[in-house]
Amino acid sequence: MLDAYIYETQQLLEALENTLLAGENGQKLDADQIGEVFRIMHTIKGASAMMEFEELSILSHKLEDMFTLIREGKDPGAAWPALFDVMFSSVSFFNAEMAKLLDKQTPNGDSLPLRERVEVLIRQIEGEETTPEAPEAPEGAGAEEEAVDAAAEEAEMNTTEAEAEDAQAEPAAPAADSAIYKATVHFEKDCQMENLRAFGIVQVLQKMNVRLSYLPADLSASSAAEDIVNNGFILYIQTSESPAEIKAVLDETLFVKAVTLSPVGEDSEDIPIEMRTQPEAKGQGADVKPAAAPAVETPEVKASAPETPPAPEAEAASNGNGDAAAAQVNNGMTSFETVAKQNFISVNVNKLDSLLNIVGEIVTAQSMVVNNADFGDRPHESFDMAAQQLHSLINELQDIVMSIRMIPMSTLFQKMRRLVRDMSRRFGKQIQLEVIGEDTEVDKNVIDYLSDPLLHIIRNSVDHGVESPERRRELGKPENGRIILEAKMTGSDVVVTVTDDGAGLNKDKILQKAREKGLLTKPESELTDREIYNLIFLPGFSTKEQVTEYSGRGVGMDVVRKNIAYIGGAVSVDSTPGQGTVHTIRIPLTLTIVDGMKFSVGKMNFIVPTVNVLSAIKPSPEDVFKDPEGNEMMMILGKVYPLMRLSRFFNIHDTVTEIADGMIMHLSSDERDFCIFFDHLDGEYQVVVKKLPSYLEKCSSNLQGIGGCAILGDGSINLIVDVNGLAAEC
């Protein structure tokens, strides 16, 4: 149940955000969009209330109220920018609460600050309308009406004209032998809108042969519901029907808890005056045509205010039209969406993962079958043909499965739009984000891994790249800065670039920092500009100097590089001083299949991605020696590399210890080349990469150096070596 709630709310929030972003360019929402936002807030409100997430439901209620006003034709005018701000903040608030729920936490955020902002806006929107337009049709009709009502209903108990008309409009008026009953109706506790429930009773009774009078007389008054809760709904019913009949009607009404019905004497003090002066009432009623319908349409308005100017009624009518119009607008829009949606189904990602896993295993199993077939010297043409066909079918299957997992970058880019919008506001910058190629499709996993690095890069561009409008003016640049976010396919890679027209990177500062931190590996004079710029990706380069709400959090560009490297991608940066910076992220289209070399240490099996392997060597003991600190080193072709015994690093028992009995692999990582020592090399494989279960962190004291795992065709589990992780430890 909670899952359904979260899922649906998140979908609605996404749609809401898109609508808001679409509207903000034009600085306002059009009627379609207003209807859409209203409907979304309404649905979230209802669902949140059912789940008893009070903060969420009252906030959405407030927002719904605001959009009710707008939908009814009040133009926020100058308040639009503030309104967009509040809406975006609210979307963030809801999203944060959904995240908490997903995390099995209580959604405990306080929506009060947001609600206060909405209150201010509502007042503003209501105020704006009155000033320029229609002083004759006062807004906030509810309040006005009530004021008038109060005056009109001084005499509390009243058979109001309209009701009398309705009653009399029935073909047969109560016969002379009719009796008068007093009924008191109590509704169930907390059933809400008691005044309308009473209104429902009145409607049903009026279809019968009765005359009615009731208390509270004005069921549309703001106090009516409360009155009914406290005192019950009191009716005087003059009818020739049997009391049992009347009682049945009352009892059958939904949420009626108790009914008392008793006859009252003709001249009892209790009886309202109107009922005592029957002839007069009848006379009035006779004038009325049996056309009860139009009068019934808005009886409360008529009833409450015989002396009021026609304004409220006109208002009510126009409200009605507004609603209808909005509803129609809604219709047009959603029917289009529905058509588009029907060709799609949503699938749980876990199912896609298992599908991919199985296909991966089929690939492996296929190669085992084909390679194991032992025909001796006999020809085996038909087997070869079948094997060939199986091979191409499996390839096709693999392609289809991969393509199912592909999703467009647009959601990710949408997130960036929002980020740029929020940040430029916060930093007083004017930045336009241009998005190109958002329909480029990549594997779902790639999107997941790409999100954080991209956020980080764009934060940097907004925060440190693009200058303030004043500064840009001084520099003779257009005041509006630009960030271009582009995705495109190049063969088996997707290239995502983030280009800004800001100040560019400061070469001297970067060099200075790299020097201070001892990150330079070759003389400064030999470094190209590009090499200098790319120093920012080195671990330990970023400092906390630049911590701001968006760019900070103590992580730097090295984290960006690490995340992207994890999915087999690369990131680089180039810059022209004064003109801007380009970040280029290159990622493989799919990241789930990897070519690897399999080896073992004791009982543990590992796979190291082939791209990281420089060579595998059967070592002789004289190639290995110790440096003065006692670290083992390996000599390859005259060069010396650190040697890491995996048995020691991973704490594995019962392994080969003599150098001569084991194997050495020469690996390259982003930072350095090094060697590992292990027991046995088992050949080359193509494997589907799986994430390690997160619970494993509780089962091991250190998982550094392990990037994932893979299941081979024989069912065995192999750990995938994270070469960069290992390099950091040796």
Partner 1 sequence: MDEILEKGPGDDIREYLIFTVDKIEFGIDIGLVQEIIEYQEASPIPNMLDFCSGIINIRGTIVPVIDMRRKLGFESRVYDDRACIIVITLRSELVGMIVDGVQDVARIAPEQLSDSPAVRSQGEIKPFTSKIANINGNIKQIISIEAVFDVELDGEF
Partner 2 sequence: MAKIMIVDDAAFMRITIKNMLKKCAHEVVAEAENGKIAVERYKQFMPDIVTMDITMPEMDGLKALKEIIAINPKAKVIMVSAMGQEAMVREAILSGAKGFIVKPFKEEGIIAAIDKLA
List interacting residues with partner 1 (CB under 8 A): 1-2, 50-52, 104, 354, 357-358, 361, 602-605, 649-652, 690, 692-696, 698-703, 705-706, 709, 711, 715-717, 719
Euclidean distance between CA atoms 516 and 512, whole angstroms: 6
Q: Do the beta carbons of residue 435 and residue 488 sit within 8 Å?
A: no
Phi/psi at 126 (nearest 5 deg)?
-65, -40
Tokens 């680089």 sit at which residue?
A: 572
Euclidean distance between CA atoms 414 and 410, whole angstroms: 6
Euclidean distance between CA atoms 390 and 367, whole angstroms: 10
Least Å from the CB of residue 306 to partner 1: 47
Residue 196 makes contact with partner 2 by CB under 8 A: yes
Among 157, 199, 555, 588, binds partner 2 (CB under 8 A): 199
Between CA 463 and CA 474, with CA 468 as vertex, the angle to 5 degrees is 140
Least Å from the CB of residue 206 to partner 2: 11
Least Å from the CB of residue 193 to partner 2: 6
Query: Residue 611: how many CB atoms within 10 A of its CB?
Result: 11
Q: Find, among 659, 654, 645, the residue nearest to 617 by Cα.
A: 659
- Name the segment binding partner 2 (CB under 8 A); options: 199-207, 228-236, 453-461, 624-632: 199-207
Residue 728 makes contact with partner 2 by CB under 8 A: no
Least Å from the CB of residue 107 to partner 1: 13
Count of residues touching partner 2 (by CB under 8 A): 45
Least Å from the CB of residue 229 to partner 2: 13
Euclidean distance between CA atoms 439 and 149, whole angstroms: 58
**Binding string, residues 30-49; x marks residues near partner 2 by CB under 8 A:** --------xx--xx-xxx-x
Q: Do the beta carbons of residue 497 and residue 570 sit within 8 Å?
A: no
Among 197, 417, 418, 513, binds partner 2 (CB under 8 A): 197
Interface with partner 2 in residues 503-562 (CB under 8 A): none
Least Å from the CB of residue 629 to partner 1: 23
Query: In whole angstroms, how far apart are CA 415 and each of 25, 250, 412, 419?
Result: 16, 55, 5, 6
- Cβ proximity to partner 2: between 39 and 417 the closer is 39
Q: Do the beta carbons of residue 123 and residue 291 sit within 8 Å?
A: no
Least Å from the CB of residue 372 to partner 1: 21
Per the DSSP assignment, residues forming a β-bridge with 406 are: 443
Phi/psi at 516 (nearest 5 deg)?
-55, -40
Dihedral of the alpha carbons of 146, 151, 156, 162, in degrees to the nearest 10: -70
Residue 19 makes contact with partner 2 by CB under 8 A: no
- Cβ proximity to partner 2: between 61 and 211 the closer is 61
Least Å from the CB of residue 30 to partner 2: 17
Least Å from the CB of residue 186 to partner 2: 14
Euclidean distance between CA atoms 470 and 493, whole angstroms: 40
- Cβ proximity to partner 1: between 330 and 366 the closer is 366
Q: Which of the choices partner 2, partner 1, none does residue 628 contact, using the CB cut-off of 5 to 8 A by kind? A: none
Least Å from the CB of residue 287 to partner 2: 23
Euclidean distance between CA atoms 619 and 166, whole angstroms: 105
Least Å from the CB of residue 104 to partner 1: 5
**Binding string, residues 132-171; x marks residues near partner 2 by CB under 8 A:** ----------------------------------------
Least Å from the CB of residue 190 to partner 2: 8
Residue 330 makes contact with partner 2 by CB under 8 A: yes
Interface with partner 2 in residues 252-271 (CB under 8 A): 252-255
Among 22, 26, 30, 50, binds partner 2 (CB under 8 A): 50
Q: Find, among 459, 472, 471, the residue nearest to 546 by Cα.
A: 459
Q: Which of the choices partner 1, partner 2, none does residue 693 contact, using the CB cut-off of 5 to 8 A by kind? A: partner 1
Euclidean distance between CA atoms 475 and 466, whole angstroms: 12
Q: Do the beta carbons of residue 55 and residue 107 sit within 8 Å?
A: yes
Phi/psi at 40 (nearest 5 deg)?
-65, -45
Q: Which of the choices partner 1, partner 2, none does residue 156 contact, using the CB cut-off of 5 to 8 A by kind? A: none
Q: Return the amino acid letter for 257.
A: K
The DSSP element (H or E) to which 507 belongs, if any, is: helix 507-516
Among 112, 127, 134, 203, binds partner 2 (CB under 8 A): 203
Q: Where are the alpha helices (DSSP H) in 405-491?
A: 410-426, 444-460, 469-474
Residues 6+ apart with CB under 8 A from 646: 601, 606, 652, 676, 677, 678
Least Å from the CB of residue 394 to partner 1: 16
- Name the segment binding partner 2 (CB under 8 A); options: 81-89, 319-327, 463-471, 614-622: 319-327
Euclidean distance between CA atoms 710 and 719, whole angstroms: 6
- Cβ proximity to partner 1: between 542 and 605 the closer is 605
Residue 338 makes contact with partner 2 by CB under 8 A: yes
Q: Which of the choices partner 2, partner 1, none does residue 255 contact, using the CB cut-off of 5 to 8 A by kind? A: partner 2
- Cβ proximity to partner 1: between 50 and 258 the closer is 50
- Cβ proximity to partner 1: between 553 and 648 the closer is 648
What token pair was written down for 82? Answer: 């503030």
- Cβ proximity to partner 1: between 100 and 391 the closer is 100
Residues 6+ apart with CB under 8 A from 690: 357, 708, 709, 710, 711
Residue 18 makes contact with partner 2 by CB under 8 A: no
Q: Return the amino acid letter for 461.
A: S
What token pair was written down for 672? Answer: 């350095």
- Cβ proximity to partner 2: between 253 and 480 the closer is 253
Backbone conformation region of residue 417, classed left if phi is above 0, alpha if psi is from -120 to 50, else beta = alpha
- Cβ proximity to partner 1: between 173 and 712 the closer is 712
Residues at the contact surface with partner 2, assessed by CB under 8 A: 1, 4-5, 8, 38-39, 42-43, 45-47, 49-50, 52, 57, 61, 64-65, 68, 188, 191-193, 196-197, 199-200, 203, 252-255, 296-297, 300, 319-320, 323, 327, 330-331, 333-335, 338
